[in-house]
Structure 1
């Protein structure tokens, strides 16, 4: 079931910020994501349930829990003396724990990330989820584990498939059950 989504904030982002990040990461964000971020940067989705009550939207990670989401902002902030966007900070924090071509775009309240996965299709990324407790770094791996399979394979196992596209992701946002 698809719900009407209203975003929490009216915060505009210059298209050049999006284009600069796409160039830096060598990707093209899904158009639906770009359309939302241009006017709702860093926002939280709200939906109306069947009783007319408006509440924060959640996404169910198949086989896991339902999680609230907030888009990672593309507006620069000062963090520990460095000027950086929250989306880039999330990526820099995770890059050693992610396979190539996987990039964060949203966060839940526990610090876990929703990510674009461009490994199969560079034009239409899948949406995956990574629980911060499942992160695997090369420094934590034994030689035996790395002989068994590659670091990328180990890290891929930390990613839970959510859906096939950002458009489907938006349709999966539902009201939080009370």
Structure 2
């Protein structure tokens, strides 16, 4: 199958926004992500087939559904009187439902997030998926459940493995069937 990946928007992001976020989160994004977000912040992937036809790019979460995606923007917007970027808002909203060192980078049409997981490897983080209906907050776990396993273990069960790296994630983007 011959096709190429194209991003919906050509939006040049000021690199200082990206580096500032990395500093706040104490991470370094994968170079493939950096190259895309600096030129296509907040974009949707499209697939161009060998006939030049453009189709929405989708990602299959193994054992789950296939989802269209949009990168979470790093450009700040006013939300409820606060100036914040969509990627930071997504993290602030999710942080209580995620183990440490996992950060959102894309969203699907249902509000579910694709995540970068730095827990095993800070240089080559894995890609995960979290359905918003599966979130577990600390306040939802009973003392008995915490005796059974840690909050992080409970939260880890809400995460679906997608692939080993952001580069591999890009290769998973395919045309909708």
> What TM bracket, shorter-length normalisation?
over 0.9
Contact 2:2 2:50 in 1 (8 A): no
Separation of aligned partners in 2, 1:50 and 1:7: 17
Contact 2:102 2:117 in 1 (8 A): yes
Does the alignment pair 1:141 with 2:146?
A: no
TM-score (ref. length: structure 2): 0.97
Q: Structure 1 residues 134, 12: CA separation in 2 closer, same or farther (over 3 Å shift)?
A: same
- Residue 57 (structure 1) aligned with residue 57 (structure 2): yes
Unaligned regions of 5+ residues in structure 2, if any? none
Q: CA deviation at 1:49?
A: 3.8
Q: Secondary structure at the match of 1:105?
A: strand
TM-score by length of 1: 0.97
* Runs of 4+ deviating beyond 3 Å: 49-52
Q: What residue is the counterpart of 1:99 in the other structure?
A: 99
Equivalent residues, number: 177
- Equivalent pair of 2:3/2:50 in contact (CA under 8 Å): no
* Preserved contact between residue 100 and residue 119 of structure 1 (Cα < 8 Å): yes
**Is structure 2 residue 33 aligned with structure 1 residue 38?**
no
Distance 2:159 2:50 in 1: 32
Give RMSD over aligned pairs: 1.2
Other-structure match for 1:12: 12
Moved more, 48-57 or 5-14: 48-57
Answer yes or no: is the 8 Å Cα contact 2:11–2:40 preserved in 1: yes
Partners of 2:154 and 2:71 in 1: how far apart? 27
- In the superposition, relative to structure 1, how do residues 170 and 3 fare at CA in structure 2: closer, same or farther (>3 Å)? farther
What are the residue-to-residue correspondences of 1:158-173 with 2, within 5 Å?
A: 158-173=158-173
Q: Is the 8 A contact 1:3 1:171 kept in 2?
A: no
Shift of 1:123: 0.7
Question: What corresponds to 2:127 in structure 1?
Answer: 127
In structure 1, C-alpha distance between the alignment counterparts of 2:27 and 2:157, rounded to whole Å: 23
- Give the whole-Å Cα distance in 2 for the aligned partners of 1:166 and 1:62: 16
